Amino acid sequence: MKQNKVVISGGGLVGSLAACYFAKRGWIVEVYEKRPDPRDPDNAGKRNHRSINLAISTRGLSSINRLSPDVEKKVMDIVLPMYGRMIHSLDGSTNAQAYSILGKAINSVDRGILNEILLDQCETFEGTKVFFQHSLEQCDMDAKTATFKNLVTGEEVFTSADLIIGADGAHSPTRKFLQYYTKVNIEQKYIDHGYMELEMKAKDGNFAMDKEHLHIWPRKTFMLIALPNLDKSFTCTLFMPWSKFESIKTEDDLNEFFKEYFPDSIPLFGQESINEFFTNPKGALFYVKCTPHHYKSNAVIVGDAAHCTVPFYAQGMNCGFEDIETLDTLLCEQAAPLIDSKDPVACQNIKTSTLTPEQIEAALIKYTGCRPRDSASMIDLAMYNYIEMRHSVNTFSYKARLWLEGKLHLIMPKVVIPLYTMVSFSKISYTDATIQWKKQTKALQNVVSVFTKLSLATIAVLLVKYSGPRLGLRLPSFAEVARIFRK
């Protein structure tokens, strides 16, 4: 039978993972990436200051494990576990807040090294080719053809496939072409905040701070965060309103800003690193929601091309990797309907490279049936989490809820699950996690409300009982008490 071919526009994290999956399933694979090969010695050590640090958690690791436990081991060898947030207060004190009462961690990972692992892996498969410095110029989704431009020579490269995948980022050319062929509903929104990166170098060969936490300096309307790196530095990202960035015009302004809001960070950074504020680029923050994600059996978009997000739940990459795992599961379901397509061991040797267009389309319809909804929920959660990270983490109500949910989760692990646990340490869909979280919130609010009313009622009874006769007061009747609780 004919061997199917896939053309992937984009060889970043999600594109290279997709290439690995399709090559494993027997497809002929061509990947076209706009940037140079990150493994080329000429590109070694080049830092992308517009790249926000990554944290890989359960969803991302599950996707890599389904591909290969050996690849997962390689990834785990380059991560640094972070067991919670370390909150830095204005007075220099710190407060650790665990991500999980069970001691689970999310993992700081270097984007470049992870990309290199996945590129190396996809090139181990016969029939896989990766072309760097090629940009997508034209895409005919009816004919299933694409034209790429070699950015070095200017030559145009024409190719065809049984399936075209757009993994080409937030400003996806593939998504643009998808709109020519089907009605795509798109919501794109820039938020009023931007970001910039600063580096906190190692001190005397060691980490300048505790390496087992994600560090946050929450300042209500803005924040600074720091994630550890393998070279014992921290990549720090400053998120704040554009007006705040624009108000810092001189070195004196910058120094006063850090003295006022991040005084304990100054000796950790050093003046030279702080002054990178004026040279490092500042990036915009926006999200994109869209549906559908596919066109017939011919094309599909994944990762940021399908759902660019703000970075405040560290789920952008994890969600993109989950796209690929979901897509693979649905294709395996078509190829082997009698096998549990969600079981990575049972599916280990399944080939999807001989699927018919009708079978591919059936899988893509199901993909669009779930991923746009879940990625939209993920984006909403990320927007919510920005408020939590820059403000709520310092409030008594947040700390009380964190404690209460943790205790209830230990007692009733399937009934009460903290939101962070559902998002980062489970594979519950983002949509279902949001629904359960809202139900839990309402139930906890009701419990607290009843407890508060009981407490007030008890105090009132005691006051009336012991001071009532002197003040001319009496205890209320049962009917009067019942009316209070019916309100």
Mean pLDDT for 278-283 is: 95
Mean pLDDT, the chain, whole residue set: 92
Percent of the chain with pLDDT over 90: 81
In a domain, 229, yes or no: no
Confidence of residue 396 (pLDDT cuts 50, 70, 90): confident
Mean pLDDT for 301-328 is: 97
At residue 410, the 3 state secondary structure works out as: helix
Specify whether 342 is located in the same domain as 411.
Answer: no
In a domain, 24, yes or no: yes
Confidence of residue 16 (pLDDT cuts 50, 70, 90): very high
Specify whether 349 is located in the same domain as 470.
Answer: no
Q: 234 — alpha (psi -120 to 50), left (phi > 0) or beta?
A: beta
In a domain, 33, yes or no: yes
| DSSP string of 238-277, one letter each residue | EEEEHHHHHH--SHHHHHHHHHHH-GGGHHHH-HHHHGGG
At 241 the pLDDT is 97
Q: For residue range 18-46, list pLDDT tens digits in order.
A: 999 999 999 999 999 999 999 998 876 55
The total number of structural domains in the chain stands at: 2
Q: Are 150 and 134 in contact (CB under 8 A)?
A: yes
In a domain, 273, yes or no: no
Specify whether 56 is located in the same domain as 127.
Answer: yes
Residue 365: both structure tokens together: 């319809």
Specify whether 349 is located in the same domain as 444.
Answer: no
Q: 180 — alpha (psi -120 to 50), left (phi > 0) or beta?
A: alpha
Specify whether 300 is located in the same domain as 163.
Answer: yes
CATH number at residue 294: 3.50.50.60
Q: For residue range 233-243, list pLDDT tens digits in order.
A: 999 999 999 99
In a domain, 247, yes or no: no
In a domain, 225, yes or no: no
**What totals of helices (H) and strands (E) does the chain contain, helices first?**
16, 19
Specify whether 62 is located in the same domain as 149.
Answer: yes
Specify whether 354 is located in the same domain as 400.
Answer: no
In a domain, 352, yes or no: yes
Specify whether 311 is located in the same domain as 426.
Answer: no
Confidence of residue 414 (pLDDT cuts 50, 70, 90): confident
Confidence of residue 192 (pLDDT cuts 50, 70, 90): very high
Mean pLDDT for 463-474 is: 60
Final residue of a domain: which of 386, 420, 441?
A: 386
Specify whether 338 is located in the same domain as 423.
Answer: no
Confidence of residue 394 (pLDDT cuts 50, 70, 90): confident
71: pLDDT strictly greater than 70 = yes
Q: For residue range 415-467, list pLDDT tens digits in order.
A: 899 999 999 999 999 999 999 999 988 877 666 555 555 655 566 556 556 65
Backbone CA torsion sign across 59, 335, 26, 159:
negative
Specify whether 52 is located in the same domain as 127.
Answer: yes
Structural domain harbouring 380: 5-82+104-189+286-386
Specify whether 402 is located in the same domain as 377.
Answer: no
Specify whether 9 is located in the same domain as 69.
Answer: yes
CB-based contacts of 464, cutoff 8 Å, min separation 6 = 473, 474, 475
Residue 59: both structure tokens together: 């969803």
Final residue of a domain: which of 386, 416, 442?
A: 386
At 229 the pLDDT is 96
Final residue of a domain: which of 332, 360, 386?
A: 386
In a domain, 204, yes or no: no
- What is the bridge-based pairing of β-strands 5-9 and 28-33? parallel
| DSSP string of 7-49, one letter each residue | EEE--SHHHHHHHHHHHHTT-EEEEEESSPPTTSGGGTT---T
At 454 the pLDDT is 61
